[in-house]
Amino acid sequence: MTLADTPTAPRTEDDARARRWMERYGRLIRSIARRTIHDAWDLEEVEQEIHIKLWKAMDRFDPALAKESTFVAVVAQRCIVDFHRRRARQMRHRPEPIENAEELVTVDEDDAERSEQFERASRALRSLGPDRERILGMSYLDGITHREIAKQTGLSLGTVKSHLRRGLLELKNRLHALPPCPSAA
């Protein structure tokens, strides 16, 4: 029996077909997930999510377009990408408190130079204007896809891409035009 042969209703967790199907593709799903997820708890969570999404997507499988294993691999990969994006957003929004930060901070010449470069880049980025600064920040600092930026800002995808390209060119020109930081003098 293939995914295409499986009736779509009723779908319950205790259905014998679901168990056979999970057994058939469990190793494939685990091998795909293990490539980028190394924590056992996260691996188990993602595997469960993949199984659920696959079970819900079985009616969309078309054997004329791809093999079952290919369908499973694509759904699994999409779930894994979604997991990594969620994890990245969680990490950005949960800064770790640092106790006794003064004791941890040491400044050497490399740190001072990096700090100076960061200040120059920040000044150049701020000089682009709030809209372009926001879009560049969303893409390059937050790692948000162009399509997601378009959704969040209400701009068309082409406009977002144009803002990014023009913004990078303008940023490059402004970095070259900015005077050195006052701390470097």
Find the CATH number of the domain harbouring 148. Answer: 1.10.10.10
Of the CA atoms within 13 Å of residue 52, those in its CB half-sphere come to: 7
pTM for this predicted structure: 0.44
Number of independent structural domains in the chain: 2
Task: Please report whether residue 63 resides in a domain.
Answer: yes
Residue 183 lies in a domain: yes
pLDDT, one tens digit per residue, over 10-32 is 455 446 656 666 788 889 888 88
Asked whether residue 133 falls in the same domain as residue 185, the answer is: yes
Same domain flag for 34 and 82? yes
Same-domain pairing of 7 and 80? yes
* Residue that has been written with the tokens 């990408």 in this structure: 81
Nearest to 53 by CA among 27, 72, 66, 36: 72
Q: Do 135 and 57 belong to one domain?
A: no
Question: What is the per-residue pLDDT across 108-153, written as a single tens digit (0 to 9) for each?
Answer: 566 667 677 777 777 777 887 788 888 888 888 788 888 988 888 8
User: Domain span at residue 179?
Assistant: 126-185
